Amino acid sequence: MNSTSRAYDVVVLGAGPAGENLAERTRAAGLSTVIVENELLGGECSFWACEPSKALLRPVVARADARRVPGLRAAVEGPLDVPAVFAYRDKMSAYWHDEDQVDWLNSVSVDLVRGYGRLDGPKQVVVQTPDGDTVRLTARQAVGVCTGTITAFPDLPGLAQARPWTNRDATAARHVPERLAVVGGGVVAVEMATAFQALGSRVTMLVRGSKGLLNRMEPFAGEMVAESLRAAGVDLRFDTSVTGVVRENGDDSPVRVTLSGGETLEADEILFATGRAPHTADIGLETVGLTPGDWLAVDDSYRVTDVGDGWLYAVGDVNHRALMTHQGKYQARIAGAVIGARAKGEPLDDGRWGAHASTADSAAVPQVVFSEPEVTSVGLTTQEAERTGRRVDVVDHEIGKVAGALQYAEGYRGRARVLIDPDLQTVVGVTFVGPGTQELLYSATVAITSEVRVDRLWHAVPAFPTISEVWLRVLESYRDGRVGKA
């Protein structure tokens, strides 16, 4: 076993999307950069979350859309071709190989050390390589922690012995279980229930709370998705907690699930989608005065607030600001520019929407739930406005009344909600629910981040007949006073 030491301006711990983008941005700022990864470059999103899950869902949503198109229904009435769906999933996950990611890293002149990295005091990272060697990395400027999250399991006796599925097991599955229990009511639970019900599983969703699905979004979003899941055959149960899970007779035996009311059910697999925990339990946080297993609190430049001298940054899910791939990449772009500016002694442009400001983390986080129907949102919800005391006008419109929606699908059902600041006359929150609405989200994000006044939006003419005409209908409703308050 060998031991070597190297020094760089920046050391990045974790090569998921946030880590890769942070490394690329610090290198673009002229700083020598190395990235450390013990799994696949590209991380959770590329291989076990975003890419494979959306590949599983794309045939499901496409078939649902096609069934609403006259002249096409008969052609899509049969079951999905499960081996073909899995093959497409494998392709979109690059067959769980990361050679392309390595080539990209080389193209931007970022070094790579494969192995498990841990902090070992200020500006120090020690890596244990797969060959048993030790590499000590010293950062002259900054260390970026981009280790993401892992599945958070509830504290249930014997759960590990029951071998529950995580998101990784679901997205990389090689078989469709006859009966699948899904615990949770958030995005992962909804998307995997949608996918596996369509692939042939009998799905039971067990949701602990009574507020419905997707409870961080507008209530009507979860209601519409729940209605669709039930129509597809999902057994959806609210106010239901899991108190016990047992798999008694080996890998092929069913799982017996005990529920809070004393009832039991059997499933072939059980997926826990009950939240995420920071992947910080074994990365050496104790060597810099932090608590292993904690989220890393950061300031608006992504510096970890509880570490002195300002050398430690936390970017992506690990800082608990917005647990989405695209937001982690946004944070990495901002943090990389910040680290570069500070290394050169340049002042920060950290005013609202400045080059070194993280404004979107609080004002404009976009999200798509690839359910059936799709749910998209950005900015405030009515609940957030009420909780924070922010006064907003609420404008609702049925998307199915727009000509483009009628062209898109017979019997189109969807809903738009736009929140407008009555004083500034700008859009501060948007939610769309309905087929094809994912492609409306960027326009909403631009409207919020640009702080475009409503009177200027009148000049953004939507093409006819497209679903984007819903913007015009919303503006008309606002002009005519058809609004609610929050």
Cβ neighbours of 425 (radius 10 Å)? 16
- Residue 252 pLDDT > 90: no
Structure tokens at 275: 């939240």
> Cα(first)–Cα(last) distance of the chain, in Å?
64
CA–CA distance, 368 with 365 (Å, rounded to integer): 10
CA-to-CA distance for 34 and 418, rounded, in angstroms?
43
- Which ranges of 323-374 does DSSP label H, i.e. alpha helix? 325-343, 360-363
Kindly state the average pLDDT of the residues 45-64.
Answer: 97
Mean pLDDT of the chain: 96
- Say what the pLDDT of residue 240 is: 95
Assess whether pLDDT exceeds 80 at residue 214.
yes
DSSP sequence for 7-75: EEEEEEE--SHHHHHHHHHHHHTT--EEEEESS-TTHHHHHHSHHHHHHHHHHHHHHHHHTTSTTTGGG
* Partners of 136 in the β-ladder: 5, 126
In this structure, are residues 239 and 263 in contact, taking their beta carbons and an 8 Å threshold? no
d(CA 291, CA 281): 8
358 within 8 A of 329, measured Cβ to Cβ? no
What residue type is assigned to position 434 of the chain? G
**Is pLDDT of 281 > 80?**
yes
Residue 279 makes CB contacts below 8 A (sequence gap 6+) with: 14, 147, 148, 149, 150, 318
pLDDT of the residue at 250: 67
Backbone CA torsion sign across 254, 258, 259, 265:
positive
Identify the band that residue 211 occupies on the pLDDT scale cut at 50, 70 and 90.
Answer: confident
What residue type is assigned to position 35 of the chain? Answer: I
- Asked whether the beta carbons of 35 and 16 are under 8 A apart, the reply is no
What's the CA gap between 409 and 436, in Å, rounded? 10
* Residue 282 reports pLDDT greater than 80: yes
pLDDT-derived band at 210, boundaries 50, 70, 90: confident
- Of 380, 442, 458, 387, the closest CA to residue 417 belongs to 380
Structure tokens at 339: 């680290």
Q: Is the pLDDT of residue 383 over 70?
A: yes
**φ, ψ at 420 (rounded to 5°):** -125, 130
**Strand 375-379 to strand 367-369: parallel, antiparallel, or no bridges (unpaired)?**
antiparallel
What's the whole-model pTM score? 0.96
Our CA angle for 406, 408, 413, nearest 5°, is 60
Confidence of residue 157 (pLDDT cuts 50, 70, 90): confident
Cβ neighbour number for residue 214 with a 10 Å cutoff: 25
Residue 4: strand pairing partners: 135
Structure tokens at 108: 């931007």
For residue 111, what pLDDT is reported? 98
pLDDT given at position 10: 98
Neighbouring residues of 287: CB distance < 8 A, sequence distance ≥ 6: 118, 119, 120, 121, 124
Rounded CA-CA distance 478/454 in Å is 9
**pLDDT tens for each residue of 106-149:** 999 999 999 999 999 999 999 999 999 999 999 999 999 999 99
Q: In Å, how far from its chain's centre is CA 157?
A: 29
Percent of the chain whose pLDDT exceeds 70: 100
DSSP sequence for 112-179: EEESEEEE-STTEEEEE-TTS-EEEEEEEEEEEE---EEE-----TTTGGG--B-HHHHHT-SS--SE
Is the Cβ–Cβ distance between 293 and 280 less than 8 Å? yes
pLDDT (tens digit per residue) in 330-361: 999 999 999 999 999 999 999 999 999 999 99
> What is the pLDDT at residue 249?
78
